[in-house]
Amino acid sequence: MTHADFTPDVEAIRSIDAVPVILSMVKHLTGMRFAAVARVTEHKWVACAVDDSIDFGLKPGGELVLESTICHEIRQHRTPVIFGHASHHPIFSQHHTPRTYGLESYISIPIVKANGDFFGTLCAIDSVPANLDEPAIVKTLTLFAQLIAMSLDSQSHLEITKEALVVANEHGRLREQFVAVLGHDLRTPLSAIRMSADLLDTKTEDKRSLSLISAIRTSSIRMGVLIENVLDFARGRMGGGIPVKRQMVDDLRHTLKQTLDEVQASHPKAQLIHSLDVPSGVHCDALRISQLLSNLLGNAVTHGSTAAPISVQAFAEGDEVMITVTNQGSPIPPALMPLLFEPFTRSEAGQRGEGLGLGLYIASQIATAHNGTLSVTSTLESGTCFSARFPARFKWV
């Protein structure tokens, strides 16, 4: 059972989606069979996350006697400790920790937060020797430890922001805090995650590792979309709407098709069918229209039935462009319909799903910025259909 004082730390690590992937990558990179994230204080050693293939017996929330661990020493000198063959090591062959736990290979990297606070360690152990001489191993695990520390810092900033939102009555203060937190404190670790994934991709040919790297990259893309949605919300509220740069676009169909392909790649199990018959010479902001379609598709994938395809249509109707996204499944409850295009209303309406409830709001704002509209119909027989309509000047060819 987790000591009550450490429950928040265990939950903080558990809430970082990348941690299980990181622990799996640590095992693959080192060849060792046990990896963990530990909270280490002056008096306690508590496991926060564990990937165990040797039945070491330690679970999240489990404790080790602090003095029996090398992490106690790392907390003091804050430098990594690594050895691949304890019984042949000039120092660690006599050290109490390998003897106590029957270890031959060991690596532990300190996790230090931005304010200098020592959180704990990212570590791996095994009862058999491991080849840990490659410098890239320590560098990569150090980067992973830094990513965990930055994620913890981001959580702290988000908690502070959440508390501020409860008491804030002025929209200006709320928007400034969102922009500050999301524009800097989340983008920085997200960039590090993307760069480390790209670096790891060039360092391995193992199919399992490549799959894990792909998962990291996909998650970072999704996180990027969430961050940009909130930034768009904040900018839009500060400036009286989401800004668009309309210009003559000769191949809007290509942009829409690219968006469909990106969503399909991110959701390979989704069934997408489309009919894109958009003329050239559409006067619009192509990137914003792509964002509108992506948000509508994301909503359809999240809330629609997986047994039926999602239909996308884009066509000219008179002097307007129409884009529709239709999915099957349970109809939208009538009580939710008036709130559908309002920000931060998903939890209030009892809806489940990922994100902050900004996708449909931003899509409607993009339509409005194009002097258009976004509407929805939802029945059990016909499904749920979102229809974006905006005027456009066509250059018929």
User: How much is the average pLDDT of 263-290?
Assistant: 90
The CATH H-level superfamily of 4-219 is GAF domain (3.30.450.40)
48 Cβ contact list (under 8 Å, min separation 6): 6, 9, 10, 12, 13, 14, 36, 37, 38, 39, 60, 61, 120
User: How much is the average pLDDT of 128-150?
Assistant: 93
Q: Is residue 347 over pLDDT 60?
A: no
pLDDT of residue 202: 83
283 Cβ contact list (under 8 Å, min separation 6): 246, 247, 248, 249, 392, 393
Q: Is residue 239 over pLDDT 60?
A: no
CATH number, span 247-391: 3.30.565.10
**Residue in 257, 162, 181, 267 with CA at minimum distance from that of residue 221:** 267
pLDDT of residue 396: 46
Q: Is residue 230 over pLDDT 80?
A: no
Q: Is residue 228 over pLDDT 90?
A: no
For residue range 300-311, list pLDDT tens digits in order: 998 899 899 999
**Sequence ranges of the chain with CATH classification 3.30.450.40:** 4-219
For residue range 191-227, list pLDDT tens digits in order: 778 788 888 888 888 888 888 887 787 677 667 766 7
User: How much is the average pLDDT of 239-260?
Assistant: 86
For residue range 75-98, list pLDDT tens digits in order: 999 999 999 999 999 999 999 999
* 72 or 310, greater pLDDT: 310
**Residue in 160, 80, 83, 85 with CA at minimum distance from that of residue 115:** 160
Share of residues in the chain with pLDDT > 90 (%): 55
pLDDT of residue 124: 96
In the predicted model, what is the mean pLDDT of the chain? 85
Whether 257 and 263 have beta carbons less than 8 Å apart is answered as no
Q: How confident is the model at residue 1 (pLDDT cuts 50, 70, 90)?
A: very low
**Sequence ranges of the chain with CATH classification 3.30.565.10:** 247-391
Least confident segment among 101-105, 175-179, 324-328, 377-381: 175-179
Q: Is residue 14 over pLDDT 50?
A: yes
